[in-house]
Structure 1
Amino acid sequence: MYDLLVVGAGPYGLSIASHAAAAGLSLRIVGRPMASWRDHMPRGMFLKSEPWASNLSDPEGRWSLDAYCAEQGMTARHGEPIPVEAFASYGLWFARHAGPPVDERMVTALRLCPGGFEATLEDGERLHARTVALAIGVLPFTEVPSALRSLAPAHVSHSSDHSDLERFRDRDVTVVGGGQAALETAALLAELGARARVLARAPRLNWNDLPPSRERSPWQSARSPLSGLGCGWRNWLYSERPGWFRLLPEAKRAHIAKTALGPAGAWWVRERFEPVVEVRLGQRITSAYEWGSSVRLELTSRNGEPSSLETEHVIAATGFKATCGRLGLLTDDVRHGLRAVRDGSPAVGRDFESSVPGLFFAGLTTASGFGPAMRFVHGATFTAETLVRGVRRRLRSRAAGDRIPAPGAGVRLTGTGAVVQN
C-alpha cells in the first residue's frame, strides 16, 4: 500500500508528487501528464500569466520554466507571453526530472478500503494507498449555459473540447463568454477565416493592461506590490498568502473566489481581436434550438429587448464550476463522507484535507478555501508544500493510532449528489 496516490498529472499533481518524493513518501502518480494543456487548448494560444509566475514546484526550485527555456534556447521574459505548447512541453520535462515516473492510465473509481483507499484504473488494475491527493484539474467541471444543453454536439461545444479549431474554417461561429478563453478563441477562429463573434452578458469587455516592469522603486512596491496574480495589495494577499485567505469567513471566501480577477482579456489579444471579431454585449441566451443546419439563439438584452441570432456552431467559453456533484470518480462510500462549502466545492482544512480522512484536494476545487491563486499555476507551490505536510501529518497520526478531526462543519453530499445542510 502506497503512502500517497496522486490522481492527476497537471501542474498541481506533478508539483505534489515532486514534494512527496523529496519527503520520502512511497507514492504513485497517475494520469496523462499535462493533458489539459496538450489536448484541450488549440495551437496558437498563449499563457495569460507571466513566465515567472508559471513555475511548477519542486522543493529545490531546480526545474523552473526559466531553466527549461534556457535549456531549449528559448527566452522567458516578463511581458512576453509563452505559447501553450511550450508550457505543455515544460510540464513534460518537469515530469521527467522532478518526481517519480507518471503512470498514464486514468482512475475510473476511488473507494474506501481498510487502511485507506482503493483506486480502479481504466484497465481494471487496482491500487491501494493510505492517502490520496485529487489534482484532477478543470476538465470534470466544464460549465455550459442551461439554454444550450439541449443542443447536439454538432452545434455546441465547450472551449476546452478543442485542441484544433481547423474544422471551423470559413464557418459562422459564436463564442459565448467574455473572458480570456472566449476572446482568444474568437481571435484564433477569425485568423482561420471563420466568421467569429463574441456574445456576452456583460455590458462591456475588460482588458488587462501591459504589465508594469518588475524593476520597481521601493515606493512603487510599497504602494502596489507586484505578485503572481498582478499588482496591488489585494492581489498580493491572494497570491502570496493563501493561508491568510483561509481565515476569512466562509461566505466572504466564496464571494471572492467567484468574483476576484473576473473575466478579462490579455493585452496582447486585444489588437488581434478588435479588428476582426463581431461583439454583441449585454445579451442573455433565453433559448436555443436547431434551425436547419444552423442554430437559432433567442436573446434578451439587459433592458428586456428580445432579438435572435443564427449561427452554425456555438462554443461556450463559460468556465468551470468545481462542485462535489461533478466528482464522478468517487464512489458512494466516499461521497457520503464528503462535505461541501456553500458554493458546492469540497470543504478542506488547513492542509487541503477534506472531511474524508486522508482524502486531499488540489487546484480549482480549493479556490473557495484558499483563494483565487488556486485557479492558476502560481498556486501550485503553496499547495504542494502545504498538502504534503498534511499527508505526513495524517500518516503520523495513523501510525500512532490517533485520529485527526476532519475539517469543520459545512454541508454534506447525499448519495444522489444533492447538497444539504449538516
Structure 2
Amino acid sequence: MIRVSRVMVIDGGVHALATPNTDADPACRLADPRDTRLAPGATGPARHGQLERGSEDTLISARSVDLLIIGAGPYGLAMAACAADLSIDHKIVGEPMGFWHRHMPAGMLLRSTCDWHLDPVAVDTIVEYTAGQERKPKEVEPLSRSFYLGYAAWFQRRKCIQPTAELVTRLDATPDRRFHAVLSSGDEITARRVVVAVGFGAFPHVPASLAAILPEGRYGHTRDEVEFERFAGKRVLTIGGRQS
C-alpha cells in the first residue's frame, strides 16, 4: 500500500508524494524534483521519477511518464536500469521475473554464462553478484534457474527498480502522439514512448498442421511443461532447438 501525503503539479503532470511500499528496499527512493543532488548514474540535476537513495519521500507519477516499460522480466528490468541511468522519467509494469518463477522447471540450467548480465553500464553484473558471495564464475556455471532468479532479485534491489506488479490490459495510441495504457487494476498511464518486453509467455503457438495429427492430451507447449515426473519411463519427442 502507498500512503499519499500530498499532491503536487510538476511540469504539467499530477504527482503524489508518498511513503514507499514497505516491501521495497528501504534504501530506494525516487528523487524529489526540487532536489538538485545527482542520483546514481545521472549526469545532471535530479528529475521527477529519477531513482535516488536516501530521500525522505517517494515521488510517484499518477498519470504520465516519458517511458512506459511493459514487462518485468530480464529485458524489462534491464530497460528500467538503462532508463534510470539516462535520467528518463519512466514506469515499469509487470510481475518481476513472473514467467521465470511459474513457467520454468526448478532444476533448469541456462545456456547463458556469467557475461549475460542485466546491467547496461556493466556495474551490477553476475560476476559482481558472485563476488559478493565469495564465489567465482566457474563455480556457478552453468547457471541454474534458482541462481539467476537470485541475481535478478539482487539486481532489482541494487538498481532500486520497483515495478507495478500488474498487467497492461489495453494499449492505444492517442491523437497527440502519445500512448494510453490501462492496467488490470483499472489505473491508467500515458507515455511518450513504450517498450514492450513481455516475452513469449502469453503467446504459446502450436502449429495447426501439427496439432491436427496429434492425439488430444498427448502434446503441449514448453510454456506449460514445468514438472516432468509424468514423463518418467516414457518416450518424449522435443520439436525445436532453442532455449525452450
- Short-chain TM bin: 0.5 to 0.7
After superposition, what is the alpha-carbon deviation per residue over 1:294-334, rounded to whole angstroms, capped at 9, x for unaligned? xxxxxxxxxxxxxxxxxxxxxxx6xxxxxxxxxxxxxxxxx
**TM-score scaled by length of structure 1:** 0.39
Give the conservation status (yes or no) of the 8 Å contact 1:115–1:130. yes
Q: Decide which of 162, 167, 170 is 2:225's aligned counterpart.
A: 162
Residue equivalent to 1:5: 68
Give the conservation status (yes or no) of the 8 Å contact 1:38–1:85. no
Q: CA deviation at 1:27?
A: 0.8
Give the conservation status (yes or no) of the 8 Å contact 2:73–2:97. yes
| SS of residue in 2 equivalent to 1:176 | coil
Unaligned runs of 5+ in 1: 182-316, 318-422
Residue equivalent to 1:91: 152
Residue equivalent to 1:69: 130
Q: Residues of 2 paired with 1:79 and 1:20: CA distance?
A: 29
Q: Which has the higher helix share?
A: 1
Residue equivalent to 1:179: 241
Residue equivalent to 1:122: 184
Give the conservation status (yes or no) of the 8 Å contact 1:31–1:105. yes
Q: Residues of 2 paired with 1:97 and 1:34: CA distance?
A: 16
After superposition, what is the alpha-carbon deviation per residue over 1:180-234, rounded to whole angstroms, capped at 9, x for unaligned? 55xxxxxxxxxxxxxxxxxxxxxxxxxxxxxxxxxxxxxxxxxxxxxxxxxxxxx
**TM-score scaled by length of structure 2:** 0.65
Q: CA deviation at 1:86?
A: 0.8
Aligned residue pair count? 179
Q: Decide which of 18, 22, 25 is 2:88's aligned counterpart.
A: 25
Q: Residues of 2 paired with 1:170 and 1:163: CA distance?
A: 14
Q: Residues of 2 paired with 1:3 and 1:180: CA distance?
A: 35
1:63 maps to amino acid: D
Give the conservation status (yes or no) of the 8 Å contact 1:107–1:119. yes
Q: Residues of 2 paired with 1:163 and 1:170: CA distance?
A: 14
Q: Decide which of 156, 167, 172 is 1:111's aligned counterpart.
A: 172
Matches within 5 A, 1:216-227: none
Residue equivalent to 2:18: none
Identity of aligned residues (%): 32
After superposition, what is the alpha-carbon deviation per residue over 1:381-401, rounded to whole angstroms, capped at 9, x for unaligned? xxxxxxxxxxxxxxxxxxxxx
After superposition, what is the alpha-carbon deviation per residue over 1:162-181, rounded to whole angstroms, capped at 9, x for unaligned? 33323x15463523325255
Q: Residues of 2 paired with 1:115 and 1:178: CA distance?
A: 40
Matches within 5 A, 1:3-402: 3-52=66-115, 54-59=116-121, 61-77=122-138, 80-113=141-174, 114-149=176-211, 154-166=217-229, 168-170=230-232, 172-179=234-241, 181=243
| SS of residue in 2 equivalent to 1:68 | helix
Give the conservation status (yes or no) of the 8 Å contact 1:17–1:99. no
CA RMSD of aligned residues (A): 2.5
